[in-house]
A and B are shown apart, each in its own frame.
Chain A
Amino acid sequence: MPAAAQRRIIFAHIDEPGYTNDLACYLQHGGYAVLRRSMARPPAELIDEVKKSGLRGRGGAGFPCGVKWSLVDRKSGKPIYLIVNADESEPGTFKDRYIIHQDPHQLIEGVMISCFANNVKQAYIYIRGEFPEGARILERAIAEARAAGFCGPNVLGTGYACEIYVHRGAGAYICGEETGLIESLEGKRPYPRIKPPFFPAVLGLYQCPTIVNNVETLCHVKYIADVGGDAYAKIGTPNNTGTRLLCVSGHVQKPGYYEYEVGKITLGELLYEVCGGPLPGRKFKAIIPGGSSAKILRMGETFALKNKDGTTRQLAVEDIPMDFDTLAACGTMGGSGGVIVMDDSVNMVEALANLNAFYAHESCGQCTPCREGSLWMKKITTRMVHAGARSEDGALLKSVADQIAGRTICAFGEACAWPTQSFVAKFGDEFKGAAETKPSTKSDHAIELV
């Protein structure tokens, strides 16, 4: 059976010839009609639609958006803030970039519907510092929307006031973690806050209730407000509703971004049919399915999954449907939707060393296990590549990683431990073998990873 067709909801106009990122074009395509209709409804009804939709956050954790919104403290009397997480910094992820650059008004409409639903008067879009062009595009789009009354002091003449400002980060991955982001927005080092008590829904920005949602999530909210939660819940698969942007990079013929109903395409269909398979003469070796922090999958491994009726079924890597629950059952995660593909030319010790260098660079340094552990995992894997491996390195790496996860302030601890834990568990032979081969003086054609 050929792979299901793409279902472009969020990316409906991405790369469409003639579609521009200005307000006039957005309005020609029916823009802001959903905001207008939504503002004629009671806000609680909109929150209900999002709950019914089953929408799960697209930023990484897959937390149900409607539940997140219902946890917001609405009795404190303090203002409620909404922050758009446009930090897009999980390696392998490149979807929000295209929404921001090519369809910014879709995001702004989603933001305004979400603000109206939650009685938010001030929203910030926290965009990574490396998107200077994206920040300018958003600023221009907000100015256009404001001039036309879609945000600002008197939205659509209803008397409802809500401002949106763009706030630029400055190159730190940890600003993607929502409480690190909040600290950063307060003008500080982005040290994540400890939860409890600092759940953003209660004690967020300026210690006020705060909603943090990913760019893609808020675009889905716009679509849900349009078609209704029940209709949205019919897209995708149960508990994994809607569509999802999948970003494929690495060793495939056709890397890029694709939008599919969640769970309606398998990893194998995505890689072989949609992305054209491996490069000439190569074979797939390993796949990271949900951003660099997700545990790696080894081609050829199988998973025994429980069916609802208690029986079990065997699933090969190629047959994993790309949904949150199945990927979790296979010991990894859908995460941010970034699929990184490695073929048989890749040395797994080198690939891990590359990722470990990233995590060592990005740890904020607050927690000893994460600060020291990420650095030692980098030092060990880099030494293995450049100065020779020892037979105990695999076990050493595992022991360092095992002492990080679960012992830190934020989920970066898991994010940096999971690659090492999974690479060593699934490619133990290569980590052992590394000790028996001399550090390679690379041929001119070889790919360097660290």
Chain B
Amino acid sequence: MNLQPATLQKIDEVITHYPVKRSATLPLLHLIQEDAGHISDAAIEWVAAKLELQPINVYEVVTFYPMFRRQPIGRRHVKVCRTLSCALLGGYKTCATFEAEFNTHRGEVSPDGEVTVEFVECLASCGTAPVVMIDDTLHEKVDCARAKALAAQIKAEAKQNNVASSG
């Protein structure tokens, strides 16, 4: 496991929040996923050792909670709300727009590796439906036009990043 020093420091701190170490399972998995992008087998074993658990104890948690992933995803994560209030105002079309813009299907990484588009369940912002979370940021009232604009922005940012990393 190659975690950044800041992550390791946060991990040690968060364990002190609980009288029972096992409680730190979710916080550790969040910290590792933020750092490493996904939860590998090595990460599961590492968390188990850190919290004095068996790997299966961690594995069963990782596989239950939708937010933890065993595989890397695209550099940007587009999560479109699928549930009723958003669907009533066109959430499915919003999702289809993102899929078309990035030439991908829900749940898959786009061919260029940049974006993963996904359906998620109610994001607790139903009054501003349809809503989309891009990475950690919530976007409200994302109709098709707005979805196209957001997609364009993501593409522009990707281009800039490529220039920066090759230059």
Chain A residues within CB distance 8 Å of chain B:
88-94, 96-97, 122, 128-133, 165, 167-173, 184-190, 206, 247-251, 255-257, 292, 338, 340, 342, 346, 351, 354-355, 357-358, 361-362, 447-450
Residue of A nearest to B86 (CB): A249
How far, in Å, is A416 (CB) from chain B's closest CB?
13
Question: In the complex, which of the residues B23, B26, B30, B124 has the most CB atoms of chain A within 10 Å of its own CB atom?
Answer: B124
How far, in Å, is A163 (CB) from chain B's closest CB?
8
Chain B residues within CB distance 8 Å of chain A:
17, 19-20, 22-27, 29-30, 51, 57, 60-61, 64-68, 79, 82-85, 87-90, 92-93, 120-129, 133, 136-138
Residues A172 and B64 in contact in the complex (CB < 8 Å), given A96-B124, A97-B125: yes
How far, in Å, is B146 (CB) from chain A's closest CB?
17
Q: Apart from A170-B65, A249-B85, what 16 extra A-B contacts exist at CB < 8 Å?
A: A91-B83, A91-B121, A130-B79, A169-B26, A170-B67, A184-B26, A187-B23, A187-B57, A206-B19, A247-B126, A248-B127, A250-B89, A256-B127, A292-B83, A447-B92, A449-B92
Q: Which residues of B contact A351 (CB under 8 A)?
A: 84, 88
Among candidates A88, A206, A250, residue contacting B85 with C-beta atoms closer than 8 Å: A250
Task: Find out whether the CB atom of B126 lies under 8 angstroms from the CB atom of A185.
Answer: no
Task: Find out whether the CB atom of A171 lies under 8 angstroms from the CB atom of B120.
Answer: yes
Task: Find out whether the CB atom of B87 lies under 8 angstroms from the CB atom of A361.
Answer: no
A-B contact count (CB 8 A): 153
Task: Find out whether the CB atom of A89 lies under 8 angstroms from the CB atom of B127.
Answer: no
Task: Find out whether the CB atom of B87 lies under 8 angstroms from the CB atom of A448.
Answer: yes
Q: Which residues of A contact B66 (CB under 8 A)?
A: 170-172
Among candidates A131, A257, A354, residue contacting B127 with C-beta atoms closer than 8 Å: A257
Task: Find out whether the CB atom of B61 lies under 8 angstroms from the CB atom of A187.
Answer: yes
How far, in Å, is B126 (CB) from chain A's closest CB?
4
How far, in Å, is A263 (CB) from chain B's closest CB?
22
Among candidates B60, B87, B120, residue contacting A447 with C-beta atoms closer than 8 Å: B87
How far, in Å, is A84 (CB) from chain B's closest CB?
14
Among candidates A186, A249, A361, residue contacting B22 with C-beta atoms closer than 8 Å: A186
Task: Find out whether the CB atom of B26 lies under 8 angstroms from the CB atom of A170.
Answer: yes
- Inter-chain CA distance A448–B144, complex, in Å, is 14
- Inter-chain CA distance A123–B27, complex, in Å, is 16
Task: Find out whether the CB atom of B127 lies under 8 angstroms from the CB atom of A249.
Answer: yes
Q: Which residues of A contact B121 (CB under 8 A)?
A: 89, 91, 173, 358, 361-362
- Inter-chain CA distance A169–B64, complex, in Å, is 12
Residue of B nearest to A133 (CB): B136
How far, in Å, is B56 (CB) from chain A's closest CB?
11
Residues A170 and B87 in contact in the complex (CB < 8 Å), given A91-B122, A96-B124: no
Among candidates B22, B26, B87, residue contacting A354 with C-beta atoms closer than 8 Å: B87
Task: Find out whether the CB atom of B92 lies under 8 angstroms from the CB atom of A130.
Answer: no
How far, in Å, is B167 (CB) from chain A's closest CB?
31
Task: Find out whether the CB atom of A340 lies under 8 angstroms from the CB atom of B126.
Answer: yes
Q: Which residues of B contact A357 (CB under 8 A)?
A: 82
A-B contact pairs, 13 of them (CB 8 A): A89-B124, A94-B125, A97-B124, A165-B17, A167-B27, A170-B66, A186-B20, A187-B26, A188-B22, A189-B60, A249-B88, A250-B129, A449-B84
- Inter-chain CA distance A132–B31, complex, in Å, is 12
Among candidates A90, A173, A186, residue contacting B23 with C-beta atoms closer than 8 Å: A186
Residue of A nearest to B53 (CB): A187
Task: Find out whether the CB atom of B67 lies under 8 angstroms from the CB atom of A129.
Answer: yes
Task: Find out whether the CB atom of A130 lies under 8 angstroms from the CB atom of B83.
Answer: no
7 residue pairs, one from A and one from B, having the closest CB atoms:
A187-B25, A170-B65, A249-B126, A171-B66, A171-B67, A249-B85, A187-B22
Q: Which residues of B contact A172 (CB under 8 A)?
A: 64-66
Task: Find out whether the CB atom of A190 lies under 8 angstroms from the CB atom of B88.
Answer: no
Among candidates A91, A133, A170, residue contacting B126 with C-beta atoms closer than 8 Å: A91
Among candidates B26, B88, B122, residue contacting A167 with C-beta atoms closer than 8 Å: B26
Task: Find out whether the CB atom of B90 lies under 8 angstroms from the CB atom of A255.
Answer: no
Task: Find out whether the CB atom of B29 lies under 8 angstroms from the CB atom of A170.
Answer: yes
Q: Which residues of A contact B23 (CB under 8 A)?
A: 167, 185-187
Q: Which residues of B contact A169 (CB under 8 A)?
A: 26, 65
Task: Find out whether the CB atom of B90 lies under 8 angstroms from the CB atom of A447.
Answer: yes
Question: In the complex, which of the residues B22, B83, B129, B136 has the most CB atoms of chain A within 10 Å of its own CB atom?
Answer: B83
- Inter-chain CA distance A357–B133, complex, in Å, is 20
Q: Which residues of B contact A129 (CB under 8 A)?
A: 30, 65, 67
Q: Which residues of B contact A128 (CB under 8 A)?
A: 124
Question: In the complex, which of the residues A255, A338, A342, A354 has the most CB atoms of chain B within 10 Å of its own CB atom?
Answer: A354
Q: Which residues of A contact B137 (CB under 8 A)?
A: 133
- Inter-chain CA distance A292–B88, complex, in Å, is 13
- Inter-chain CA distance A248–B51, complex, in Å, is 43
Question: In the complex, which of the residues B17, B121, B125 has the most CB atoms of chain A within 10 Å of its own CB atom?
Answer: B121
Task: Find out whether the CB atom of A448 lies under 8 angstroms from the CB atom of B126.
Answer: no
